[in-house]
Structure 1
């Protein structure tokens, strides 16, 4: 989602377009204010609609927040799966998977903060949504490691957890240092580090 000019009040939009508009406005408010400080009034004003219009689409602030988490969580998992499927070369797979996570963190609108830095992790529904997104990424990598590294699923999953953890933590650190380190260089550094470890496991099907 990218920032756009606020529409004039009273403009009628198709339901899907209105929903997308409201989610975009909500993302801006949640990212900049955090969940607890965000107000439905602020979101409605940002979207250029009345509060009744906002409530027609989302019954409350939590439902709006969860809709954003679901949208961006699914997008993150999709990117990681597509990255792994983009090549059969395992070294390139590692780089592609790490690159997908860096791309998500670098994306417009700072959607990654909703997934990785939520201030509402104590809410069960939010915890479930965040863990679902991370598990989806871990599942995708586990499948590839299990097939290619000669490890059972439990050990392959532990490696996948490590790769996802390394990627998302370093990507968030890089975001503050990207004026001196390009994204390509950061991805190369981290994928080299990860591959040096993963390459030590024998291929199941060399």
Structure 2
């Protein structure tokens, strides 16, 4: 039973959901439809039916399909960014930071709702508003990683940013491959392997103000 079905089953018949709860319900239904069908094949009728509401109710909250898609994209881009920031702040040990950040991407991709597909595998990237959001969260995640690299290594910001973009892109691409391929490697082992590979590279830059690594 999905979260939508559980909510509906628990709610007494004849009652109305508060506006925020209804909006969240509609977003949940839309996510299921968009992930399963893609943006272009999805229809507002499908989303309304999935949510168990009439189309007028759906349009009261979201004027159109693109508005609904962008609201979901905003929600899940923010979720990814917060996960990366939390991972970076979780420890002062840099190797553990690399592992935590890798795991943040793997956890995001592995989430059963499949929201990462809206961010990393959207069929609507030719839409300027979608492209802008995807580019922005990619940049913001890289900036968060860059800040740590620059602080610890003393590298110029543009050099640290190149490393940060590389680490972020490496993490999400491999995590998506791991999921899509149905790899038998457990998530913790996959993160350990990738952390070892990444750490061998990033550890080659000495800590700022020290002679050692």
Give the TM-score, by structure 1 length: 0.95
> Is the CA contact 1:40–1:61 (under 8 Å) kept in the aligned structure 2?
yes
The gaps in structure 1 that reach 5 residues or longer are none
Establish whether residue 162 from structure 1 lines up as the match of residue 166 from structure 2.
yes
Post-superposition CA distance 1:16-45 (Å, at most 9, x none): 100100000000000000000000000000
Establish whether residue 18 from structure 1 lines up as the match of residue 32 from structure 2.
no
Greater Cα shift, 8-17 or 116-125: 8-17
> Is the CA contact 1:29–1:42 (under 8 Å) kept in the aligned structure 2?
yes
Give the superposition deviation at 1:150: 2.0
Larger Rg: 2
Establish whether residue 54 from structure 1 lines up as the match of residue 81 from structure 2.
no
RMSD: 1.5
Out of 116, 125, 131, the position equivalent to 1:127 is: 131
Give the superposition deviation at 1:176: 3.0
Q: Which residue is equivalent to 2:101? A: 97
> Is the CA contact 1:87–1:93 (under 8 Å) kept in the aligned structure 2?
yes
Establish whether residue 146 from structure 1 lines up as the match of residue 165 from structure 2.
no
- Equivalent residue pairs, number: 205
> Is the CA contact 2:150–2:156 (under 8 Å) kept in the aligned structure 1?
yes
Q: What is the alpha-carbon distance in structure 2 between the residues aligned to residue 168 and residue 135 of structure 1? A: 13
Give the TM-score, by structure 2 length: 0.92
